[in-house]
Copies of this chain bind each other. A is one copy, B any other.
Amino acid sequence: MLKIYSSSELTPQLRARLLQRSSSEDREALAIVQAILDEIAAEGLVALKRISERLDGVAPDPFLVTPEEFEEAELALSSEIKQAFQTAYQNIKSFHAFQRKMLEDQKTTVCTSTLGYMYRPVERVAVYVPGGKAFYPSSVLMGVVPARIAGVSHITLLTPPGRDGKIHPAVLYCARLAGANAVLKAGGAHGVAAAYHGLLTPPAELIIGPGNRYVTAAKNLLASTGRVRIDQPAGPSEVIVIADNTARPAFVAADLLSQAEHGEDSPCILLTDSLVLAERVSEEIAKGLDERPERRSMKETSIREHSYAVVFETLDEAIAFSNDYGPEHLEIATEKPERDLEKITAAGSVFLGHYAPVALGDYFSGTNHILPTGGAARMFSGVGVDTFMKRITYQYPTRESLRKALEPIRIMSKVEGLDQEHGHSVEVRFEGEKDRSPSQG
């Protein structure tokens, strides 16, 4: 069922192919989206209505979710569903509050001057959550909770409505629970543009959250102006499981199929030092597809076209492969997972041990599930409290430390051709200093 490679077969070419994911500039989407952005920039709300009707089949009136709709959503949900999301919310809040506490303002002394930095929240944020056909209330929590903990002043949740102009009650429930300030019923490029221009909410300075190719293109085009920050582009969800012979084939197979449930282009990869395990996982996948037939063709395509196992001589080789891959999700189902974790240099979120299915982090444990995909984990972090903050550096030099800097600054600024004013701005502070020194020294 699962294609199994031996590490001895891995030529550099094959290795490169296995590491590669499909992703490229989407020029078609960029062109389509540019036109939408231009319409919204020129005509504002009028264009938003027109484009919503054209693309979503509805222009909600009003676009912003009303207090009554929030009430209705709460009534529409069973207490069991509400309880489940509440518990998840508490865990997500706990972990992100811990992250916030660790982002402390700091200062030190360099060359007798005080140098420091402080973290401050971004003020106006939009969190994009896909919608329309499927609903992701868990993603609402993952985007809004850390923003709220960071201290963001205004959080707009951006999500496309159904054809009836409504948003799924669990999405609204989670939006209120997590503390979104507004829910804007608009998705796609037009929704992103509406948030950016502040048509109905304060203009967003940071737009995060995965969306389709048009959402991605809109974020990229707006980011290129330097007036808004975005997170990294989102691609198909993916998992690597690094497992040794202490792993249970049925567990590993379940976790791979769980990833395949996300879409037919999801890579589900097993890296192991045990051929027996790889073979048994493959059997369990076949069994699982028979026993749990929902979305079967999607799961089969994902396993057949995008997934594989590699059997290495050692676990360290498996880890090295995984680091080159930079998986969004990484399970380490080995005898000593904490030891192996130390060797990980790139991954979005890591799941340690035999009781750590990715589903736990998708929904419940408290870690974030908005993560870099397609190898972006090699250079990007997943969403966290720091996503919603910036670091402001400062310095409080003493007079003496500035005096020591005088000569070096004169020399260095001269090399750069900036000596006249840069040099002078230091010198002027030591001219005729005795009779006119300000109080601070």
Q: Are A359 and B106 within 8 A (Cβ)?
A: no
Within the assembled complex, what's the spacing in Å between the Cα atoms of A440 and B425?
A: 64
Residue count of chain A within 8 Å CB distance of chain B:
149
Residues of chain A from 368 to 417 with CB closer than 8 A to chain B in the complex: 368, 373-382, 384, 386, 390-399, 401-402, 405, 407-409, 411-413, 415-417
Which listed residue, B25, B227, B337, touches A375 by the CB 8 Å rule?
B227
Q: When A229-B379, A394-B350, A416-B135 are in contact, do A428 and B108 touch as well, CB less than 8 Å?
A: no
Q: Are B426 and A357 within 8 A (Cβ)?
A: yes
Q: Are A393 and B350 within 8 A (Cβ)?
A: yes
Chain B: minimal CB distance from A232 (Å): 6
Q: Are A420 and B376 within 8 A (Cβ)?
A: no
Q: Are B294 and A420 within 8 A (Cβ)?
A: yes
Which listed residue, B80, B351, B375, B421, touches A261 by the CB 8 Å rule?
B421
Q: When A353-B440, A415-B170 are in contact, do A365 and B223 touch as well, CB less than 8 Å?
A: no
Chain B: minimal CB distance from A211 (Å): 13
**Interface: A315 (CB within 8 A):** no
B residues in contact with A255, CB < 8 Å:
425
Q: Are A84 and B412 within 8 A (Cβ)?
A: yes
**Interface: A110 (CB within 8 A):** yes
Q: Fill in one digit per residue for A229-241: 1 if any B CB lies within 8 Å of its CB, else 0.
A: 1001101000000
Q: Are B381 and A391 within 8 A (Cβ)?
A: yes
Which listed residue, B113, B352, B415, touches A137 by the CB 8 Å rule?
B415
Within the assembled complex, what's the spacing in Å between the Cα atoms of A122 and B375?
A: 12
Nearest residue in B to A294 (C-beta to C-beta)? B420
Main secondary structure of the interface of A (DSSP, over half): mixed
Chain B: minimal CB distance from A76 (Å): 12
B residues in contact with A423, CB < 8 Å:
359
Nearest residue in B to A375 (C-beta to C-beta)? B227
B residues in contact with A421, CB < 8 Å:
254, 257-258, 260-261, 288, 292, 299
Nearest residue in B to A359 (C-beta to C-beta)? B422
Which one of A5-13, A178-186, A271-279, A341-349 is at the B interface? Answer: A341-349
Within the assembled complex, what's the spacing in Å between the Cα atoms of A228 and B221?
A: 16
Q: When A365-B110, A424-B254 are in contact, do A341 and B394 touch as well, CB less than 8 Å?
A: yes
B residues in contact with A14, CB < 8 Å:
none
Chain B: minimal CB distance from A210 (Å): 11
Within the assembled complex, what's the spacing in Å between the Cα atoms of A386 and B120?
A: 15
Q: Are B258 and A135 within 8 A (Cβ)?
A: no
**Interface: A264 (CB within 8 A):** no
**Interface: A91 (CB within 8 A):** yes
Within the assembled complex, what's the spacing in Å between the Cα atoms of A67 and B426?
A: 36
Chain B: minimal CB distance from A178 (Å): 14
Q: Are B412 and A229 within 8 A (Cβ)?
A: no
A-B contact pairs, 30 of them (CB 8 A): A81-B412, A84-B412, A85-B412, A91-B110, A99-B117, A113-B366, A120-B344, A122-B378, A134-B416, A170-B415, A216-B224, A220-B220, A224-B233, A227-B376, A257-B421, A295-B420, A338-B396, A348-B393, A349-B392, A355-B440, A357-B402, A358-B425, A360-B397, A360-B405, A361-B395, A362-B422, A364-B412, A378-B390, A381-B390, A382-B391
5 residue pairs, one from A and one from B, having the closest CB atoms: A226-B233, A350-B394, A84-B408, A220-B224, A357-B425
A interface with B by C-beta (< 8 Å)? 23-26, 30, 80-81, 83-85, 87-88, 91, 94-95, 98-99, 102, 104, 106, 108, 110-111, 113, 115, 117-118, 120-123, 134-138, 168, 170, 205-206, 216-217, 220-221, 223-229, 232-233, 235, 246-248, 250-251, 254-255, 257-258, 260-262, 288, 292, 294-295, 299, 335, 337-338, 341, 344-368, 373-382, 384, 386, 390-399, 401-402, 405, 407-409, 411-413, 415-418, 420-426, 428-429, 436, 438-441
